[in-house]
Structure 1
Amino acid sequence: MSNAQLDEGRDNRERVVILGSGWAGYTLARQLDSKKFQAVVVSPRSHFSFTPLLASTSVGTLEFRTALEPIRSRRTNVEFYQGWADGVDFANKKVTIEESVVDPLQSMALTGDRHAGQTAEERVESKQRAAKKGRLFDLAYDKLVISVGCYSQTFGTPGVKEHAYFLKDVGDARKIRNRLLSCFEAAALPTIPDAIKKNLLNFAIVGGGPTGIEFAAELHDLIAEDLDRMYPELIPFHKISVYDVSAKVLPMFDESLTKYATEAFRREGITIKTSHHVEGLKPGAPGNSPDSHADYACYTLNVKEEGEVGVGMCVWSTGLMQNPFVANALRELPELPQAAKQSETESGQKAAPSQPWKVKMDSKSGSILTDERLQIKLISDKQETVLQDVYALGDCGILEGTSYPATAQVASQKAVWLAKRLNKNDLETSSFSFSNLGTMAYLGNWKALFQGGQGSQISGWAAWVMWRGAYLTKSVSIRNKILIPIYWVINWLFGRDISRF
């Protein structure tokens, strides 16, 4: 479809182009009034991932489909283009899109720039080739919402990008599930010595936040409830370890809840190793070459405090890094867009269009800074202004002067607030504020933690009931609200499906 055809297909509604299909982008697209706005989602994946359930899908407690919501649906009036946002022309209100229908990276965690290693000239040539092949097109907008999310942070640790497993999308969960079962099947072979079995069944989780802790808990449940019966001879060899560079895990929880979690893991045989620094990950067992036949399925985790540790799988969950699109495509503006020319600086003076401007970024995280109405800020020398009709939500945007966590709860609340304001056309009458509804984490064996926004605390079985109830009610579609409890009951009665595919 040509750019002219895209423009000709527009109706009288305002076109809201939403970059990203995560918690912010997907929620906003569904909440906008379809009579007033033409919501257009641009994302390299054609679905929304319900991230709290990914750990459950990675071990077979739930099936992958229960953590997915399609962007295209008979129940919503949302347009969709599967592609990567490649550039933004604020002056002419256009976004350049590179199609990604056959991109192998979709549904997988990203750890760096897709075009890393290319020079500026090579990147220009690559874009020209994509345009000639019809893989690059411009999309006009009336309002633009940047909610591209963040990438997985590896801190440049050698071998992590190539050999670690991440848990940010359904493709990652599928990859983990296959690897996990491969480790047990390989260890069950009569030709594998005990030393290699210990390596294969040693599972390392790097990162003591909710994602890492919940995956460790779900993995423990799988082994204790199902694999213990199927591979009884292998259970003595297995080990689950959580590594974190901080002095404690789950830092967002109160000290008493953190201690409860640590003690619960100790009783279940899960080792928590705080103040540990992972320095590298490579294929092969410790001390052997990567292509040795005996250790073909192992990895070596290099830990500063322990040395080389043989593992069957390393799941990496250490935080977020800024999306390269934000740094590369949004930073410099050749001129001040018309939408910002009427805005005033903090001193009350009109913004000068002729001087160089750039999107204001947070110095620490590199995220886009917004005003209290979620509009992105522009800066030039000592002047500052706001770019109207362009918003930043989710992990890639920070409301200046606040320290809201980069969580799904914050992203979805921003999206709901913005949708309401746009639907009512009263954006200028109020400002966004975050309402903390609490934080939860699953600990395994029907135990969980809950810390309310006002300081209330619940732990154990009661918190587990709240944990499951909250995620069930927050699931978007009626289909998944039905499927999720059905799979819970089926797996409780008959056990998890451990087939590989």
Structure 2
Amino acid sequence: MAGASGGGLVAYADARSDLDLASSHGPTKKKVVILGTGWAGTSFLRNLDSSLYDVQVISPRNYFAFTPLLPSVTCGTVEARSIVEPIRNIMRKKKGEIKFWEAECFKIDPANKRVHCRYTTAPNSGWTDEFLVNYDYLVIAIGARANTFNIPGVEENCHFLKEVEDAQKIRRSVMDCFERASLPNLDEDERKKNLHFVIVGGGPTGVEFAAELHDFVSEDLSKLYPSVYGLVKIEVIEAGEHILTMFDKRISRFAEEKFQRDGIDLKTGFRVVKVSEKDITMTSKSTGEFSEPYGMAVWSTGIGTRPVIVDFMKQIGQGNRRVLATDEWLRVCGCDGIYAVGDCASISQRKVVEDIAEIFRIADKDNSGTLTVKEIQDVLEDFCMRYPQLELYLKSKRMSSILELLKDSKGDAMKEAIEVDIEEFRKALTDVDSQVKTLPATAQVAAQQGSYLARCFNKMKDTEEHPEGPLRFRGSGRHQFRPFRFDSSREVRMNGYRLTVEEEASLDVQLVEVVRHGGSRSYSGFQLSVLCVHKRNKELVKIDLQKDFAFAYFSFERCKMG
């Protein structure tokens, strides 16, 4: 993107002078360094009271990209510039001075509280391309990379769909496949090969792209390439038995039926073992190993760990994990002053069973060895705040309170004067931790984590004297903040099916429409207002969709020119 690249060159000139002046800040402000300008990092920056801190942002990307619409960019429905917002536009609306370095962090040094960075484009002659940035607080929000599972040929021969540049490459590749298939002196098998589009991975991104591509081919390219349109094959390969397996079975079934009606070939239970320049090799229990030719392949099989995170996890004793472990306050476990949000981290929720004795001890104020209804009610709010799985478990059992759970455990009628000992208390709560779930790696989760962490930073000083969090069941006093909880209060409806926000978040709002209609061209104004972060982007996307509907030809040209 020319605009983004141009902004990046300006950022380098600013960065050099700011580095020299970094020491001019007074000692009163703590330095907050933000790594990344994705959903989590940008959400943190938007919501942070930057007048309270010396804020520095480091990212190889000097813009924020609205990633749920990347599949729409691949087919020209939406232009790339419509889904990006320059990070400096966000910065200039904030209080105080914020610095931005267009650079990549390649090493985190927690012992010395600094990060090692390098410029992402060649600097002027005589400059070193590496520099150090010290921090008091570090917010890691660098996301994740595509997970190839070390399968031979994937990196070299497949497209990914993580960045705006990825979407633009896919857009050009689709058009190139159609142009190659239209060349003279090709036999039908060669034309079929060029028009065989393979999507590996049946998760949200893969499903969205397959639906968008089907729309684009059937509604637009069929008119431009009528002689070869009938040879197109869109194929989704999924190692599991169903697509969208992480969600409600009804959603998975609905999407599979929609793909079947649209003629999208769905191969479930197939695992890709090799990708060459011309063929993709896969295996299944029923067929064994075989290869088939393809024209373009898009790899969308989940997220992998970035090298800087792998190195950092080894330093802090988390080397056997896939992502960083944080506590419920998004603090990296085992580190001081380091937070991680978004796809690069996962919350390690503390289990109720680990703290049963401490919870019982604090609730048993009269040291009688039993808990009364009143004693339970006195700690119930703190209990639910500290262990959100309790509330989820009660909902799953259609119970309104923990008292019903205790009643069910004791097997008798609940009375006001009922008392439970520690063994009865333990028995009632044995299965509560079954509701501990890992949050999906989605834009909605990352954005909520970023805004939550910013609110904590804004109240850091006040809550040191007046903590607002739950009781410390292991220790004394209260936690400084309420722990992070993903907001699952909203619901959407899809053809009579009800989705909670956890399901909506993992599908992204766009996927609801994609599954219903086969593509994002059917967005209503309401959905656009939900999806787009900035007013400018919302209006640009609306214009793109209106142009696409009224003058479809221009979308074809954008596909080639993007």
Is the alpha carbon distance of 1:184 and 1:441 closer, same or farther for their aligned partners in structure 2, counting shifts above 3 Å? farther
Is the alpha carbon distance of 1:102 and 1:226 closer, same or farther for their aligned partners in structure 2, counting shifts above 3 Å? farther
- Within the candidate set 176, 192, 203, 2:170 is matched to 176
Is the alpha carbon distance of 1:18 and 1:4 closer, same or farther for their aligned partners in structure 2, counting shifts above 3 Å? closer
Match runs of 1:20-169 below 5 Å = 20-73=36-89, 74-76=92-94, 78-102=98-122, 133-169=127-163
Specify the alignment match of 1:483 in structure 2.
540
CA positional deviation for 1:461: 5.8
| TM-score w.r.t. length of structure 1 | 0.77
CA positional deviation for 1:75: 3.2
| TM-score w.r.t. length of structure 2 | 0.69
Q: Structure 2: which amino acid aligns with 1:52? A: P
- Normalized per residue, the structure richer in helix is 2
Q: Note the residue ranges of structure 1 that are not aligned, 5 or more in a row.
A: 104-129, 284-298, 333-357, 379-386
CA positional deviation for 1:376: 1.2
Q: Secondary structure at the residue paired with 1:435?
A: coil
Determine if contact 2:247/2:503 at 8 Å carries over to the other structure: no
Q: Does 1:194 align with 2:150?
A: no
Is the alpha carbon distance of 1:252 and 1:150 closer, same or farther for their aligned partners in structure 2, counting shifts above 3 Å? same
CA positional deviation for 1:37: 2.3
CA positional deviation for 1:149: 1.2
Specify the alignment match of 2:353 in structure 1.
none
- In structure 2, C-alpha distance between the alignment counterparts of 1:238 and 1:448, rounded to whole Å: 33
Specify the alignment match of 2:499 in structure 1.
451
Match runs of 1:191-340 below 5 Å = 191-283=185-277, 299-304=278-283, 305=287, 307-332=290-315
- In structure 2, C-alpha distance between the alignment counterparts of 1:63 and 1:271, rounded to whole Å: 28
Determine if contact 2:144/2:304 at 8 Å carries over to the other structure: yes
CA deviations over 1:369-409 (Å, ceiling 9, x no partner)? 1122111112xxxxxxxx33211111111111351122222
- In structure 1, C-alpha distance between the alignment counterparts of 2:491 and 2:150, rounded to whole Å: 29
Determine if contact 2:122/2:129 at 8 Å carries over to the other structure: no
Is the alpha carbon distance of 1:153 and 1:329 closer, same or farther for their aligned partners in structure 2, counting shifts above 3 Å? same
Is the alpha carbon distance of 1:324 and 1:471 closer, same or farther for their aligned partners in structure 2, counting shifts above 3 Å? farther
Q: Does 1:10 align with 2:60?
A: no
- In structure 2, C-alpha distance between the alignment counterparts of 1:441 and 1:235, rounded to whole Å: 35
Is the alpha carbon distance of 1:317 and 1:273 closer, same or farther for their aligned partners in structure 2, counting shifts above 3 Å? same
Determine if contact 1:368/1:376 at 8 Å carries over to the other structure: yes
- In structure 2, C-alpha distance between the alignment counterparts of 1:331 and 1:168, rounded to whole Å: 25
Q: Structure 2: which amino acid aligns with 1:59? A: C
Q: Structure 2: which amino acid aligns with 1:33? A: D
CA deviations over 1:393-445 (Å, ceiling 9, x no partner)? 11111111351122222211111111111112237132111223679999xxx
Percent of aligned positions with the same letter in both sequences?
A: 35
Is the alpha carbon distance of 1:34 and 1:216 closer, same or farther for their aligned partners in structure 2, counting shifts above 3 Å? same
Q: Secondary structure at the residue paired with 1:497?
A: helix
Determine if contact 1:440/1:448 at 8 Å carries over to the other structure: no
Determine if contact 1:3/1:138 at 8 Å carries over to the other structure: no
Q: Secondary structure at the residue paired with 1:388?
A: coil
Q: Does 1:422 align with 2:451?
A: no
Q: Structure 1: which amino acid aligns with 2:282? A: V
- In structure 2, C-alpha distance between the alignment counterparts of 1:71 and 1:238, rounded to whole Å: 40
CA positional deviation for 1:322: 1.2
Q: Does 1:368 align with 2:416?
A: no
Higher Rg of the two aligned structures: 2
Determine if contact 1:86/1:96 at 8 Å carries over to the other structure: yes
- In structure 2, C-alpha distance between the alignment counterparts of 1:13 and 1:97, rounded to whole Å: 23
| Deviating more after overlay: 208-217 vs 245-254 | 245-254
Determine if contact 1:301/1:308 at 8 Å carries over to the other structure: yes
- In structure 2, C-alpha distance between the alignment counterparts of 1:239 and 1:448, rounded to whole Å: 31
Q: Structure 1: which amino acid aligns with 2:555? A: D
Q: Secondary structure at the residue paired with 1:434?
A: coil
Q: Structure 1: which amino acid aligns with 2:346? A: I
Q: Structure 1: which amino acid aligns with 2:51? A: K
Q: Note the residue ranges of structure 2 that are not aligned, 5 or more in a row.
A: 1-15, 350-436, 468-479, 505-511
Determine if contact 1:131/1:137 at 8 Å carries over to the other structure: no
Is the alpha carbon distance of 1:90 and 1:131 closer, same or farther for their aligned partners in structure 2, counting shifts above 3 Å? farther
Determine if contact 2:211/2:518 at 8 Å carries over to the other structure: no
- In structure 1, C-alpha distance between the alignment counterparts of 2:489 and 2:174, rounded to whole Å: 34
Specify the alignment match of 1:388 in structure 2.
336
- In structure 1, C-alpha distance between the alignment counterparts of 2:340 and 2:248, rounded to whole Å: 31
Q: Structure 2: which amino acid aligns with 1:460? A: R
Specify the alignment match of 2:382 in structure 1.
none
CA positional deviation for 1:50: 1.0
Q: Does 1:497 align with 2:445?
A: no
Is the alpha carbon distance of 1:267 and 1:6 closer, same or farther for their aligned partners in structure 2, counting shifts above 3 Å? same
CA positional deviation for 1:99: 1.0
Specify the alignment match of 2:347 in structure 1.
399
Q: Structure 1: which amino acid aligns with 2:485? A: S
- In structure 2, C-alpha distance between the alignment counterparts of 1:163 and 1:420, rounded to whole Å: 43
| Deviating more after overlay: 422-431 vs 170-179 | 422-431
- In structure 1, C-alpha distance between the alignment counterparts of 2:31 and 2:162, rounded to whole Å: 29
Is the alpha carbon distance of 1:393 and 1:272 closer, same or farther for their aligned partners in structure 2, counting shifts above 3 Å? same
CA deviations over 1:21-77 (Å, ceiling 9, x no partner)? 111111111111122123321111111221100000000000011221211114346
Is the alpha carbon distance of 1:313 and 1:23 closer, same or farther for their aligned partners in structure 2, counting shifts above 3 Å? same
CA deviations over 1:297-325 (Å, ceiling 9, x no partner)? xx211122462211110000001111111
- In structure 2, C-alpha distance between the alignment counterparts of 1:441 and 1:184, rounded to whole Å: 37
Determine if contact 2:342/2:445 at 8 Å carries over to the other structure: yes
- In structure 1, C-alpha distance between the alignment counterparts of 2:492 and 2:213, rounded to whole Å: 18
Q: Secondary structure at the residue paired with 1:185?
A: helix
Is the alpha carbon distance of 1:190 and 1:330 closer, same or farther for their aligned partners in structure 2, counting shifts above 3 Å? same
Match runs of 1:343-358 below 5 Å = 358=316
Q: Secondary structure at the residue paired with 1:325?
A: helix
CA positional deviation for 1:7: 2.7
Is the alpha carbon distance of 1:454 and 1:40 closer, same or farther for their aligned partners in structure 2, counting shifts above 3 Å? closer
Q: Structure 2: which amino acid aligns with 1:393? A: V
Q: Secondary structure at the residue paired with 2:337?
A: strand
